Amino acid sequence: MDILNAVVLFGNFVIIPATTYGAQLALGALGITLVFSILRFANFAHGELMSFGAMLTLFLTWYFQDAGIHAGPLPTVLLALPAGILGAIAMALVTERTVYRFYRSQKANSITLAIVSVGVMFVMAGLIRFMIGPDEHVMSDGARFLFKASEFRQATGLREGLAIKTSQVITVGVAVLMVAALFWFLHKTRTGKAMRALSDNPDLALLSGINPDRIVAVTWALTAVLAAVGGALYGLDKTYKPFVFMQLLLPIFASAIVGGIGQPVGAILGGFVIAYSEVILTYAYKKFLTYLVPESWAPEGLVQLLSTDYKFAVSFIILVVVLLIRPTGIIRGKVL
Amino acid sequence: MSFLSATGMSGGYGTGPDIIHECDLEVEAGKVAVVVGPNGAGKSTAMKGVFGMIRLREGRVMLDGRDITALSPPERVSAGMAFVPQTGNVFVSMSVQENLEMGAFVREDDITGTMRQVFNLFPVLKDKRKQIAGELSGGQRQQVAIGRALMTEPRLLMLDEPTAGVAPIVMRDLFERIRDITATGVAVLMVEQNARQALEIADRGFVLVQGRNRFTDEGRALLANPEVRRSFLGG
Domain limits, chain A? 3-325
Q: A1 pLDDT exceeds 80?
A: no
Q: B38 pLDDT exceeds 90?
A: no
Q: How many domains does chain B have?
A: 1
User: Nearest by CB to B91, which of A200, A206, A209?
Assistant: A200
Average pLDDT, chain A: 92
Residue type, A16: I
Interface test with B, best of A208, A210, A218 (most B CBs within 10 A): A208
User: Nearest by CB to B102, which of A193, A334, A336?
Assistant: A193
Query: Could you tell me where the beta strands, DSSP code E, fall in chain B?
Result: 4-11, 20-27, 32-36, 56-63, 66-67, 81-84, 156-160, 187-191, 204-209, 212-217
Looking at residue B228, its pLDDT comes to 87
Distance, CA of A50 to CA of A177 (rounded, Å):
18
Q: What's the mean pLDDT in A196-215?
A: 92
Looking at residue A328, its pLDDT comes to 84
DSSP strand pairing (B156-160 vs B81-84): parallel
**Domain extent at residue B192:** 1-73+156-162+187-235
Å between A184 CA and nearest CA of chain B: 14
Could you report the per-residue pLDDT of A45-62, keeping only the tens digit for each? Answer: 999 999 999 999 999 999
Question: What interhelical angle do A264-282 and A166-188 show, nearest 10?
Answer: 160
Looking at residue A297, its pLDDT comes to 85
Average pLDDT, chain B: 92
Looking at residue A336, its pLDDT comes to 65
Measured between beta carbons, the chain A residues lying within 8 angstroms of B106 are 208-209
With bands split at pLDDT 50, 70 and 90, how would you rate the model's confidence at A295? Answer: confident
Looking at residue A216, its pLDDT comes to 96
Residue A3, number of CB atoms within 10 A of its CB? 9
Interface test with B, best of A201, A206, A207 (most B CBs within 10 A): A207
Measured between beta carbons, the chain A residues lying within 8 angstroms of B157 are none
| C-alpha distances in Å from residue A4, one per residue of A10, A156, A286, B66, B157 | 10, 11, 16, 81, 70
The answer to whether residue B204 sits within a structural domain is yes
Could you report the per-residue pLDDT of A264-282, keeping only the tens digit for each? Answer: 999 999 999 999 999 999 9
Interface residues from chain B to A (CB-CB < 8 Å):
73-74, 77-78, 83, 85, 88-94, 98, 101-103, 105-106, 134, 148, 152
- A98 compared with A300, residue with greater pLDDT: A98
Q: What is the ipTM of this complex?
A: 0.87
Q: B164 pLDDT exceeds 90?
A: no
Q: What's the mean pLDDT in B53-78?
A: 92
With bands split at pLDDT 50, 70 and 90, how would you rate the model's confidence at A302? Answer: confident
The residue of chain A nearest to residue B148, with distances taken between CA atoms, is: A208
| Percentage of the residues of chain A whose pLDDT score is greater than 90 | 73
The answer to whether residue B118 sits within a structural domain is no
The enclosing domain of B7 has a CATH number of: 3.40.50.300
Q: A334 pLDDT exceeds 70?
A: no
Q: A3 pLDDT exceeds 90?
A: no
For A:192-221, CB contacts with B below 8 A are 193-194, 196-197, 199-201, 203-210
Q: A335 pLDDT exceeds 70?
A: no
Measured between beta carbons, the chain A residues lying within 8 angstroms of B159 are none
For the segment(s) A3-325, the CATH number from 3.30.70, 3.40.1130, 1.10.3470, 3.30.310 is 1.10.3470
With bands split at pLDDT 50, 70 and 90, how would you rate the model's confidence at B14? Answer: confident
CB A219 within 8 A of CB A198: no
Distance, CA of B166 to CA of A113 (rounded, Å):
39
